[in-house]
Amino acid sequence: MELSALTIHELHELFKAGEVTSQQVTEAAFQRIEQVDGKVHAYTYLCREEAMREAERADARIRKMDIGPLTGIPIAIKDVICTKGLPTTCGSRILENFVPPYDATVVEWMARDNPVLMGKTNMDEFAMGSSTEHSAYGPTFNPWDLTRIPGGSSGGSAVAVAADECIAALGTDTGGSIRQPAALCGVVGMKPTYGRVSRFGLVAFACSLEQIGPFAKDVTDCAIMLNAIAGHDPRDSTSIPRPRPDYTRSLVIDIRGMRIGIPREYFIEGLDPEVEKAVRNGIDVLKDRGAEIVDVSLPMTEYGISAYYIIAPSEASSNLARYDGVKYGFRDSDHKDLMEMYCKTRSRGFGPEVTRRIILGTFALSSGYYEAYYLKACQVRTLMVRDFQMAFQACDVLAAPATPSAAFQAGEKLDDPLQMYLCDVFTIPMNLAGVPSISIPCGFTSEGLPIGLQIVGNHFEEGKVLQAAYAFEQATDHHRRKPSLT
């Protein structure tokens, strides 16, 4: 029995039965990291000594039967989420020495159960990217094929889960950064409703779009993780004061009568035939389970990429203005005056993709262009929200591809930003509308690469999304397949 390959709920039962300890599981996870992380580079920072101490404390709780759903479970956290006393670099040189003095709310809330924090995972710099090739600390590679990208920007978290280097992980999703790498790495990844999970302690990229969410090995673990991090946080002005249900209660197989909408704009020219086949087969599985399949339309989808790449860079331009070499982070030492220090610090501290988006955003917000670009993009966003509202009058959830293709070769799109941006064409609309969605494994290409089925719900209806995902998962075994790395 490979302990690091088990799920949260499987380990929880073993802990309660006294058959294994958290220290054994944590040690197994670190052994796995030693075996494979040199190949995939999922982590930027490991905290072995601290993790073993946390595992020891968890075992003491378990012996007293003071055990929560996450007690003793090895967890990894994307390096854009603040962790007290541990580095939080955002994959950037400009924050390479930054150690937060506090925990993000999601870390603080998970700590109630005493999970084991393994370390921080690699990511595209400041969460800007779709391939985890834009990290200042080197790229991450897909465990299913080491010549391919894992998706991004949360590629490190997706790979850590897929390669059994942890049991579950946290990532962030601004335009698909959880669901896209989850699909490309063959794991479960969920973006909650905007405002459902606190953003306090999340280093900001695009405040009106991003949400923290879980990566897991199956839908049950995803629900357990969401239970731990969801809820109202008065420290976050975007957090919605709404009761959190127990998401594990949504894990029922019966979906008879559930209406599943198929948006016609998501099955278009350019969609890889193998991806389309796997997704349509997945829809057939849901139909066989008793769901009613209905056609719907999201006509503003074609404007999603354009609107996103005005709104997100504009917010990034504003948020990243704070990194000036004065308060914290990297400061260039070769300067004659204050202005030169600003310029050299930002030029040398930020990578090319972050620089590109800052320039785009600053231009879109500049005098004479604000109304032509940013204001128009916000109007498109409003129309996109209406699209989803209309669609959910006809159905309970939507089913669509998570990505237009399987994982592509590393380096293939680095010199073509537009092609890289198009990788998120099926995930960006959900961020613009603020609705929840999940990616679950639904098949493999002829080359053995994972494919993700995306299920989307209305605002705060994560329960319906999880129910449909769970019903599909229980009828298939795609999520049980593992990459071969040793």
Rounded distance, CA 108 to CA 73, Å? 15
- The crossing angle, in degrees rounded to 10, of helices 8-17 and 219-229 is 80
Q: Where are the alpha helices (DSSP H) in 190-288?
A: 219-229, 273-288
Of 153, 157, 250, 314, the active-site residue reads 153
Distances (CA, A) of 119 to 33, 169, 186, 243, 352: 11, 10, 21, 31, 26
Q: Which two tokens stand for residue 317?
A: 């331009």
DSSP letter assigned to residue 227: H
Cβ distance 485 to 36 under 8 Å?
Answer: yes
Cβ distance 88 to 82 under 8 Å?
Answer: yes
Cβ distance 328 to 366 under 8 Å?
Answer: no
DSSP letter assigned to residue 408: P
177: annotated active-site residue: yes
135: annotated active-site residue: no
Of 4, 130, 177, 437, the active-site residue reads 177
Rounded distance, CA 419 to CA 283, Å? 28
- DSSP characters for 426-479? TTHHHHHHT--EEEEEEEE-TTS-EEEEEEEESTT-HHHHHHHHHHHHHT--GG
78: annotated active-site residue: yes
HSE, side-chain direction, 13 A CA sphere, residue 47: 21
Of 78, 120, 217, 464, the active-site residue reads 78
Residue whose token pair is 């260039």: 332
Query: What residues are labeled active site?
Result: 78, 153, 177
